[in-house]
Chain A
Amino acid sequence: MTEVRLGGTRGTGTDAGWDPKHFGAIEVLSFAVSGMGELTKQIQFVQPDDGNTDDHTVFQVRLPKPVLPGEHVEFRIRFHDHLPEVVARTGYKRDFFIVAQWFPKVGVWWHDGWNCHQFHSTSEFFADFGTYVVRVTVPANYVLGATGDVTAIQTNPNGTKTVTFQGEDIHDFSWTASPDFHLIEDSWQGSAGEVKIHLLMSPGHLRQAGRYLQSLKGTLAMFDRWYGPYPYDRITLVDPPNGVGEAGGMEYPTLITGGSTWWEPKGLRDIEIVTEHEFGHQYWYGMVATNEFEEAWMDEGINSYTEAKIMDALYGKGKSAIDFLGATASDADFLRVEYLLLPDTDPMTHYAYRFMNSQAYGGITYGKTATVLLTLEGLIGEETMRRAMQTYFLRYRFTHPTGEDFLKTIEEVSGRDLRWYFDQAVYGTNILDYEILDLRSDRADWYERYPPLTKQGETLYKDTVVVHRKGDFVFPVEVEMRFDDGTGVREQWDGRDRWTRFTYLKKAKLLSAEVDPAHKVRLDKDLFNNSLTAETDRRATRKLSTYWLFVWQFAAQLLAWAV
């Protein structure tokens, strides 16, 4: 799912702005088990998460006799689906349909028990792998897209058609339909074979089709090269029509939804980012398939990290999100800004529905996780991190791993004990913030009554830099000092104490000192205080003040138009 950039289209956790047209429900009409008969009356709603008896989103049925090892059992469930007007990535709008989360799902037998959570507004999904065969009947003029491949199309005498889809090794099934979709077919050759691309464009957005395809193919190639093969033979990308933003930015197995407007200029890369993001889910949500109720960071967060890496690789470091009219932004930095909004309310490992609010959930699950992993990459090296990610994917695809499986894989591949980092960054809420507290150059002969005149390159100085760990997060850092004779020195500091001092006797004065000169510690909450210069440089202040001045002068003139 892509949050924030789509305007916060996830429920807020309260009923604010509730509209009955957004009501949706799945009603189970009957429940039968082969050989055991009709068991509809045995349906019993349970509330494993909060005990709220009004919650009817999970039910259990006790079978009259147990299913023994090696046996199989067949359920027949009749249900009626009430689709909402599109809300939270499902429903209809006009004649457009995005049909998702539309059938009763079976819980996951996981770690010796049924894992089946209630519906929560800030949570995504968890389901087990299987084979889906789905027959969809729609008016004959509708264009369809769905998880899986088309295995049969049958035209019916009443002006409808029935299309059969089949998908294997997937854990969900969703489909979309509209008479207005413009189907663009393409393909991409990966290490596991050819992948057919179906792009379903909405009218009015057609000019953006090329951007979708470029981003999708680039992403397919990067995942194939860095993390592992894409084993399915198809990917369907849906461009939701105008006014259906809530259907955009969502992932289902082999079917993803993007989001575009007719006017979005090329230098604003929302279309590309959302496409990359949703495709990335095919790996982390689709194949690795972690428990998003309990460890949301493992899907959305890891996926945000790979999003930052791949956007940088495809569109250039420093400008992968915006490169427009002189303004720039990298996707990684935007994820960092998401993290900065609410950096310390919850650890990444909180259950999705137990975060302080949806903003904390989003900022920490997406933004903080990506930033934690980018910082980790700075610690163990980009290449090692890539190998660790690849090992994790290849080892755990189709297995529902846990967060510990992921963290242990990184430790194993890097050959390092990283527990100290994980304890603070993943399991903790400590803030990482280093600052240069002081920087000074005093003459070494300050005690002389008649010291010689200052002479550059000859006068001896005592140069002092004080580095302060403002936050509680302990992290080893590099500190770089630059001097006015053109030399520089880099020091290491383990950060265990609250502060440290570096002193030099040198025939040069300090120009600047900077914590983390390579800009690897993205988790640092304040990058402005990471450096201190001896001289002031007012260029940035002047520039922003000039803009600020203009804004208010112009506002004043516009207001004075009324007199």
Chain B
Amino acid sequence: MRSRRGVLGEGARIVWRRQRVLWWAFAVNLLLALLGTIPTAAALGKILDRSLASGALVDRFDVPTFAELAMSPARPFHVASAALFPLLFFAFMLFFEGGVLTVYRADRKFTTAEFFEACGRFFWRFFRLLILFLIAIVPVLIFNRVTKSWSDRLAVDSPNALLGFWVQVVTTLIALLLLMAVRLWFDMAQARIVVEDERAVRKALWPALKLTLRRFPWLFGMYFEISLAAWAGLVASFWVWVKWVRPEWVGVTFLLTQGFLLFWLGTRFWQRASEIVWYLRHAAPPSNNIP
């Protein structure tokens, strides 16, 4: 347990020392979403900015007013254009990830050219890994689908009002943990690809699986603790928002949500950094330990 704290601590320190990559990822996340919000903000502005009726959405959140707004013929909420931006961010992160892991592995300042060279070097390997990852999570998705219909049936057919609900809570948690286990395995493969400069993606998966399984409770515990921190951050931010932020304090809401999003993204980077630290300490051949 003490050594896990050590790895987690070192992971956190690396995220802190190399915070530039986190800021960049966050900036792209924000920028892309801002672009996706422009058409909606413009359409909302046309309806709301010079109407006294918008008051019901300022000092409170009046649900029928909001429903009327969403239903208005102008259809101000542009879902299609906004939904494009998460996809762009996804593609960006697929590219960016190789650079991030290389920086974490080397734990030194990179020039822009060096960084993007690393991004490019691993892009196709990570792309192939993504396809394998999508295949690997299919059983979990099937599990989730089956247990969901089971809990739905229980919710309707069981005389116990709570049974279906609890079955759903438990099976959803199991599905989330399974997903995390698969992610752990693939993150390990990514670490191996970066540290060993492994070219054969499929070949990287099996040692990664063996490594993951050999120290599974330990590694899983590490990911679990960080995830717990992420979810605790979500709950705490929501609580602060409901409890302390007045409905009309838009600026505070903006800062709070952005702070939370940075933190949430940071916890994912923390998982990556911790896994790299662990890999370097426990799995990499000695020559690779000194970057």
Contacts and interface: CB of A to CB of B under 8 A. Distances in A.
Contacts of B261: 550, 553-554, 557
Contacts of A548: 37, 40-41, 77, 82
Contacts of A341: 71
B117 to A, nearest CB: 19
Given A243-B158, A326-B60, A553-B257, 18 more contacts: A94-B159, A203-B161, A241-B159, A242-B161, A242-B164, A318-B62, A327-B61, A334-B63, A337-B64, A337-B67, A528-B72, A529-B51, A540-B57, A544-B48, A549-B37, A554-B264, A556-B89, A557-B89
Contacts of A261: 161
Contacts of B3: none
B86 interface: yes
B interface: dominant SS: helix
A529 B57 CA distance: 15
Interface stretch (B5-13, B26-34, B108-116, B275-283): B26-34
Interface string B51-79: 11111011011111111110110000100
A329 B62 contact: yes
**Most A C-beta atoms less than 10 A away, residue of B53, B64, B90, B261:** B64
A157 B85 CA distance: 73
B254 A546 contact: yes
A317 B137 CA distance: 50
Contacts of B63: 321-322, 327-329, 334
Interface in A513-533: 514, 526-533
B54 A552 contact: no
How many of chain B's residues touch chain A, expressed as a range?
Answer: 35 or more
B72 A205 contact: no
Contact of B48 (A242, A262, A340, A541): A541
Contact of A204 (B40, B71, B161): B161
B279 to A, nearest CB: 18
B34 A541 contact: no
B44 A528 contact: no
Given A243-B156, A262-B162, A543 B57 contact: yes
A241 B183 CA distance: 41
A318 B63 CA distance: 10
A546 B58 CA distance: 12
Given A94-B159, A341-B71, A540-B58, A325 B53 contact: no
B71 A337 contact: yes
Interface of B: 29-30, 32-34, 36-37, 40-41, 44-45, 47-55, 57-58, 60-69, 71-72, 77, 82-83, 85-87, 89-90, 93-94, 97, 126, 130, 133-134, 137, 155-162, 164-165, 183, 242, 247-248, 250, 253-254, 257, 261, 264-265, 268
A180 interface: yes
A546 B248 CA distance: 12
A562 B159 contact: no
A559 interface: yes
16 contacts: A242-B161, A262-B161, A263-B165, A322-B63, A326-B61, A329-B64, A337-B67, A337-B68, A340-B71, A541-B45, A541-B48, A548-B40, A549-B33, A553-B33, A556-B89, A563-B130
A interface: dominant SS: mixed
Contact of B158 (A242, A321, A330, A340): A242
Interface residues of A, number: 64
Interface of A: 94, 180, 202-205, 241-243, 261-263, 318, 321-322, 325-330, 333-334, 336-337, 340-341, 512, 514, 526-533, 535-550, 552-557, 559-563
A432 to B, nearest CB: 14
A318 B93 CA distance: 45
Contact of A559 (B66, B77, B89, B160): B89
B155 A243 contact: yes
B80 to A, nearest CB: 12
Nearest to B43: A541
Contacts of A532: 50-51
A559 B158 contact: no
A563 B126 contact: yes
Contacts of A533: 50-52
Contacts of B69: 528
